[in-house]
Amino acid sequence: MTACSFANTGAEANEGAIKLARKWGKVNKGGAYEIITFDHSFHGRTLATMSASGKPGWDTMYAPQVPGFPKADLNDIASVEALITDKTVAVMLEPVQGEGGVIPADPVFMQALRKLTRERGLLLIVDEVQAGMGRTGTLFAYEHSGIEPDIMTLGKGIGGGVPLAALLATESVACFEPGEQGGTYNGNPLMTAVGVAVIKRLTSEGFLESVLARGEYLKKRLLELSAKHGLKGERGSGLLRALILDDERGPAIVQAALTMEPQGVLLNSPRPNLLRFMPALNVSEAEIDQMIDALDILLKK
Domain CATH code at residue 236? 3.90.1150.10
Provide the pLDDT for residue 262.
Answer: 86
Q: Are residues 159 and 20 in the same domain?
A: yes
Q: Are residues 130 and 214 in the same domain?
A: no
Rounded CA gap, 29 and 27, in Å?
A: 6
Rounded CA gap, 189 and 191, in Å?
A: 6
Rounded CA gap, 233 and 104, in Å?
A: 15
Structural domains counted in the chain = 2
Mean pLDDT of the chain: 97
User: Which positions of the chain have pLDDT values less than 50?
Assistant: none
Range of the domain at 32: 3-202
Bridge partners, residue 6, by sequence: 166
Q: Are residues 105 and 173 in the same domain?
A: yes
Q: Are residues 255 and 115 in the same domain?
A: no
Provide the pLDDT for residue 276.
Answer: 98
Q: Which amino acid is at 76?
A: D
Provide the pLDDT for residue 59.
Answer: 86
Rounded CA gap, 264 and 258, in Å?
A: 4
Q: Are residues 131 and 233 in the same domain?
A: no
Residue that terminates a domain, selected from 202, 236, 255: 202
Provide the pLDDT for residue 2.
Answer: 82
Provide the pLDDT for residue 297.
Answer: 96
Q: Are residues 85 and 29 in the same domain?
A: yes
Q: Are residues 196 and 232 in the same domain?
A: no
Provide the pLDDT for residue 301.
Answer: 75
Residue that terminates a domain, selected from 133, 167, 202: 202
Q: Are residues 179 and 60 in the same domain?
A: yes
Provide the pLDDT for residue 263.
Answer: 87
Q: Are residues 252 and 192 in the same domain?
A: no
Residue that terminates a domain, selected from 168, 186, 202: 202
Q: Are residues 44 and 181 in the same domain?
A: yes
Q: What is the CATH number of the domain that holds 32?
A: 3.40.640.10
Q: Are residues 62 and 184 in the same domain?
A: yes
Three-class secondary structure assignment of the chain: CCEEEEECCHHHHHHHHHHHHHHHHHHHCCCCCEEEEECCCCCCCCHHHHHHCCCCCHHHHCCCCCCCCCEECCCCHHHHHCCCCCCEEEEEECCEECCCCCEECCHHHHHHHHHHHHHCCCEEEEECCCCCCCCCCCCCHHHHHCCCCCEEEECHHHHCCCCCEEEEECCCCCCCCCCCCCCCCCCCHHHHHHHHHHHHHHCCCCHHHHHHHHHHHHHHHHHHHHHHHCCCCEEEECCEEEEECCCCCHHHHHHHHHCCCCCCCCCECCCCCEEEECCCCCCCHHHHHHHHHHHHHHHHC
Rounded CA gap, 155 and 55, in Å?
A: 19
Q: Are residues 240 and 293 in the same domain?
A: yes
